[in-house]
Structure 1
């Protein structure tokens, strides 16, 4: 099967890190195609960034429909454009936040998220609420590091995650830790060993879920909510989106 992993930001160094995380857990017969869109922000750390990343994500889904893709993964912890993406394909589309929370709920009763800058906390609180996980997520812990800092200085990144992960276990009483950024995949195994609780990276969780869904032959429902968009005119920068 072919799984297309879309990093919604345009920083290819981060895309390559995400690709390696996906490849590390895939089956031998699974092909991973990791991409960044041609348009969008260098990183996603605000509602503004998130909304402007969505057109690029949808373009990559549309391309995938001609590339033989069996499933898509949106590799940003806000799951930007996830619902819209499900409208433009019948293939499964999985967000890494959604995947990590669903997987964690089968491994632990309560868990905390460790993520990047403080301003993203409200964004992720809304994601948690949208997935009905408010009763399971104990806390969303932030660090002073931005998304790309984890690429530039992985040693400092590991230390920040270690500190907040330890606080999550000791102060929140978290029974698992979710890494709230797609660029944190390299830290999961070491953190799990140190903290003594499951540490879940959303990219690897999404890959295994995608493989299972494709194996079962399941597709995105087109009965009502995720029907293909009605054809209509879009103008300006969005002209191409009118040709569904």
Structure 2
């Protein structure tokens, strides 16, 4: 079994950390990649929009190379619907995976994310996935994504204390880490604060692994049918649709 884990930003060191965290929870072959084009981190709607073409190209390439399922390793779940349209195998975003898993572990959960400007997106995802009545708080540590892995960074302590706060003040039974760059913190934070802490990367890998084992993938009825063939122009011409379930281009 081969699982593709796509970090939609272009920071290779973060991809390596994400890939290592994914590999620890599965016996499947994990292939962790990032696009060669796009933002270095995803911290705005603009970043997210411009990350999607590279993400889709990597999914097409990964499936041609034998991947049987895909994880979108960014907490905003960018391009998830488009990815499901083009991918043959199942595609799971780390935010949806983490939230679903959190509801299996307690009555309530809270999300601890990076910058405050991403809180609105997290609220939108909570609503989309149907967990508005289960999510008691979304808090930001206000540490930029790329600063999470800086040598000497205080990120782990800050994230841990914020996780403790949402448990003690907001009544969260479970904490969801709201950034793929926090994946390496998970076990340490959980041991410190004494409640389950869910890393979306690990959760998504296990869900994709299960869907592959069950022989299940995205329904092709209506909305998630392959997008209709049509001309594309300019720099996006390599993404033009022809016959088949994956992008023709290999940007």
TM-score by length of 2: 0.94
**Aligned equivalent of 2:212:** 214
Shift of 1:100: 0.3
- Using the alignment, how far apart are the partners of 1:44 and 1:59 within structure 2? 17
**Aligned equivalent of 1:46:** 44
**Aligned equivalent of 1:148:** 146
Q: Report runs of 4+ in structure 1 exceeding 4 Å deviation.
A: none
Consecutive unaligned residues in structure 1, runs of 5 or more: none
Shift of 1:241: 1.4
For the 8 Å contact 2:227–2:241, the answer to whether it is kept is no
- Using the alignment, how far apart are the partners of 2:196 and 2:144 within structure 1? 24
Shift of 1:90: 2.3
Shift of 1:95: 0.2
Shift of 1:243: 3.0
Shift of 1:134: 1.0
- Using the alignment, how far apart are the partners of 1:211 and 1:65 within structure 2? 15
TM-score by length of 1: 0.97
- Using the alignment, how far apart are the partners of 1:62 and 1:19 within structure 2? 19
Shift of 1:191: 0.9
Q: What pairs with 1:18-29 in structure 2 (closer than 5 Å)?
A: 18-27=18-27
Shift of 1:155: 4.6
- Using the alignment, how far apart are the partners of 1:186 and 1:86 within structure 2? 27
Consecutive unaligned residues in structure 2, runs of 5 or more: 243-251
Shift of 1:146: 0.3
Which segment is superposed worse, 14-23 or 62-71?
62-71
Shift of 1:185: 1.1
**Aligned equivalent of 1:5:** 5
SS at match of 1:55: helix
Are 2:45 and 1:75 aligned? no
Corresponding residue to 2:84 among 83, 86, 106: 86
For the 8 Å contact 1:90–1:221, the answer to whether it is kept is no
SS at match of 1:4: strand
Corresponding residue to 2:235 among 214, 232, 237: 237
**Aligned equivalent of 1:97:** 95
- Using the alignment, how far apart are the partners of 1:182 and 1:238 within structure 2? 27
Shift of 1:153: 4.1
Corresponding residue to 1:117 among 112, 115, 122: 115
**Aligned equivalent of 2:247:** none
Are 2:173 and 1:191 aligned? no
RMSD value over aligned CA atoms? 1.0
For the 8 Å contact 2:6–2:32, the answer to whether it is kept is yes
- Using the alignment, how far apart are the partners of 1:105 and 1:240 within structure 2? 41
For the 8 Å contact 2:5–2:73, the answer to whether it is kept is yes
Which segment is superposed worse, 230-239 or 59-68?
59-68
Per-residue displacement from partner, 1:123-155 (whole Å, max 9, x unpaired)?
A: 111111111111111111101210011111465
